Structure 1
Amino acid sequence: MSAAQQSRPKNACSPSVSLSSFSDALDKTTFEGTYVGNLSALAPDGRGTLAALSDRSSLFRLDAKTLRPRSVMALTDENGAALDSEGLVADRDGTYLVSSETEPSVRRYSRAGKILDRLPVPAALRTAPAGRAQVNGSFEGLTLLPDGRTLVAAMEYALSGDDAGLVRLQTWQRAKNGHFRLGAQYAYPVGTGLGVPEITALSDGRLLVLERGFTSGVGNTVHLYLADPRRATDTSGVDTLTGEGVRTVRKTLLTDLAACPALGATAGQPQPNPLLDNIEGMAVTGRTKDRLDVLLVSDDNQNTTQTTRFLRLRVRV
């Protein structure tokens, strides 16, 4: 065995990422009459719990270790209608920031589900015909930098008129009164045929970014990147992104999840690796000096051929 093989982590997906375990325990289950699936976002919620957001407008609190549901709450818009809820932040004060890609929107909710605030959204990022965002292609990822002041949302796909390989990251800055105002915007270079379903902030301002795609008869592509927006150009005043004249967000591939060991996982549809599914949510659940514990979850779309699956990764950044 070579020295490189000896240093490679157990259950390695790449030199930077290894798979600790996976769980299908919540697949096709219900809790208090609510279907536990369609999960699109995860966020550490304190007190030994993890918040899990369904894109059908349900917010679950899961036991952080066992992943068993402890509670569920329905979220609505100002008119009492359900959201297409995709991104989630559990804030330090117990409130939640939730993105919906219908408009798109970002709202702040109390722990009881009451709307406390609604953040401004640039006109161009609104869903067509009001703006240039694709239907079901706007705010998917949502994360708050550890300083608690900068919120970041990722568009899933490029705006109409922008280069198809560039998606926009929109930021907001929290003012002293607690409200968020629009901040800088950045261009993130996404892989061909892929979109951005989730982002998660690290302590130094860098981001973990999921890129995902699906090809009928082949299955899902899921890549995990480390991205650094700190020297990227503010593109909030750039009408059309062509890739010229702007510094895009720098990114480094951490792993293609198809390279992970399957660990006995099975798939109900063709996949390049039976472990894969429609991975859509991500959260950092722990950290040591040189490693992050990262939890991923798939959105099963309430489909019999798909699975609500949690993956536990160890990631070196």
Structure 2
Amino acid sequence: MRLRTVLATTTAALAAATCLSAAGPAGAVVRHHACSPSVSIDRFSDALDKTTYDDTFVGNLSALAVDKDGSLAALSDRSALFDLDARSLAPTSVVPLADESGAALDSEGLVVDRDGTRLITSETEPSIRRYSADGRILDRLPVPPSLRVAPAGRAVSNGTFEGLTLLPGGRTLLASMEYALSGDSPGLVRFQTWQRHGTSFRPGAQYAYPVDAGLGVPEVQATPDGRLLVLERGFTPGVGNTVRLYLADPRHATDTGGVENLTGQSGVRPIRKTLLTDLVTCPSLGATAKQPQPNPLLDNIEGMAITGYSKGRLKVLLVSDDNQNAVQTTRFSYLRVRI
């Protein structure tokens, strides 16, 4: 099915959507609710929780991207790509996705490229495929052998390409592994890049990212100055989710593409990171949780998109993956981040 735009949404409309107060209508005075000196939350929305569109469950959302027309692309890890109205979040279309044999994907990362095609990761192999707007496979990027799931490589199942982003200028694509490779320190995950060559991408430098103990990396987004927003996330039964937002700088990190095992003694300079906020410190804004959470605002946050930027301040939209589970919630959270 071809993506269609029912409402001609613009980037300005998306910015307006992020300017609503926690409960107020359009035009209400913006209230910035501080999570930390660098991060505040404007509001959240559960409008899509446990809904359907065109006979497709609207949930399992693992990635977000701003489309060329200002609408939102929202990726489900159950092989569906939704187009959402940026202001209301109402779905306007859905495109089914599949691999070359027609099998479903474990689709986790999403980039809308400058020509409108979609770059989408699948965590299974892992893989990155380029799709047309109507869901046809156009290309498949090469993946370094060590990053493939064992026994083909050294990656653990369900721990591969979760995040995907294009760096400023559009020539460098970056994918984040969720967890460490076998043989690497559990505290070091690999970020792989590809360089654009004409209409294709070839593997480039690789970096080590130091993740907090017990957490993984579900999403990464490039900032306009070439740094990275990195989400780190974990879950403890009976306690709930931990979700932290970091600002990371890969510019002086060691290329680890030729390093077989990443350990504390490997002489590798990892990506530098700075904590922006632990989301447990955000005001709950009246949110409720269906399972134990240290803050009822929290859930299984997996997707993130930068929806606006001005003078060192970002508008950032987060979404949680409800896993089609009755005790989890599809929740959008609107943040402002000072970098």
Q: Same fold by TM (over 0.5)?
A: yes
Residue matched to 2:120: 98
Does residue 29 of structure 1 match 2:59?
Answer: no
Give 5+ residue unaligned stretches, structure 2.
1-30
Equivalent residues in 2 for 1:47-196 (5 A)? 47-175=69-197, 177-196=198-217
Instruction: Name the stretch that deviates more: 252-261 or 283-292.
Output: 283-292
| Letter paired with 1:224 | L
Aligned partners of 2:323, 2:119: CA distance in 1, in Å?
22
Aligned partners of 1:180, 1:47: CA distance in 2, in Å?
24
Deviations 1:116-150 (Å, cap 9, x if unpaired)? 11001011100111111011000000001121110
Aligned partners of 1:10, 1:52: CA distance in 2, in Å?
25
* Pairing partner for 2:264 from 243, 255, 261: 243
| Letter paired with 1:85 | S
Q: Secondary structure at the match of 1:82?
A: coil
| Letter paired with 2:307 | T
- The share of aligned pairs that are identical, in percent, is 75
* Pairing partner for 2:218 from 189, 194, 197: 197
| Letter paired with 2:203 | L
Q: Secondary structure at the match of 1:46?
A: coil
Q: Using the TM superposition, give the Cα deviation of residue 288 of structure 1 relative to its aligned residue in structure 2, in angstroms.
A: 1.5
Does residue 234 of structure 1 match 2:255?
Answer: yes
Residue matched to 1:225: 246
* Pairing partner for 2:311 from 289, 292, 298: 289
Runs of 4+ in 1 over 3 A off after TM superposition: none
Aligned partners of 1:48, 1:202: CA distance in 2, in Å?
18
Deviations 1:19-42 (Å, cap 9, x if unpaired)? 000000000000000000000000
Does residue 274 of structure 1 match 2:282?
Answer: no
| Letter paired with 2:189 | V
* Pairing partner for 2:330 from 308, 313, 316: 308
Aligned partners of 1:123, 1:99: CA distance in 2, in Å?
16
| Letter paired with 1:135 | S
Aligned partners of 1:16, 1:203: CA distance in 2, in Å?
17
Q: Secondary structure at the match of 1:198?
A: strand
Deviations 1:25-74 (Å, cap 9, x if unpaired)? 00000000000000000000021311000000000000111111010000
Q: Using the TM superposition, give the Cα deviation of residue 204 of structure 1 relative to its aligned residue in structure 2, in angstroms.
A: 1.5
Between Structure 1 and Structure 2, how many residues are aligned?
Answer: 308
RMSD: 0.8
Q: Using the TM superposition, give the Cα deviation of residue 10 of structure 1 relative to its aligned residue in structure 2, in angstroms.
A: 3.2
Residue matched to 2:21: none
Instruction: Name the stretch that deviates more: 257-266 or 107-116.
Output: 107-116
| Letter paired with 1:201 | A
Aligned partners of 1:288, 1:162: CA distance in 2, in Å?
38
Deviations 1:75-104 (Å, cap 9, x if unpaired)? 110001110000000011010000000000
* Pairing partner for 1:257 from 268, 279, 288: 279
Equivalent residues in 2 for 1:4-23 (5 A)? 10-23=32-45
Task: Give the TM-score of the pair, scaled to structure 2.
Answer: 0.90
Q: Using the TM superposition, give the Cα deviation of residue 261 of structure 1 relative to its aligned residue in structure 2, in angstroms.
A: 0.2
| Letter paired with 1:134 | V
Task: Give the TM-score of the pair, scaled to structure 1.
Answer: 0.96
| Letter paired with 2:131 | Y
Aligned partners of 2:253, 2:196: CA distance in 1, in Å?
21
Residue matched to 1:45: 67
Q: Secondary structure at the match of 1:258?
A: helix
Does residue 214 of structure 1 match 2:238?
Answer: no
Aligned partners of 1:243, 1:235: CA distance in 2, in Å?
13
Does residue 298 of structure 1 match 2:338?
Answer: no
| Letter paired with 1:180 | F
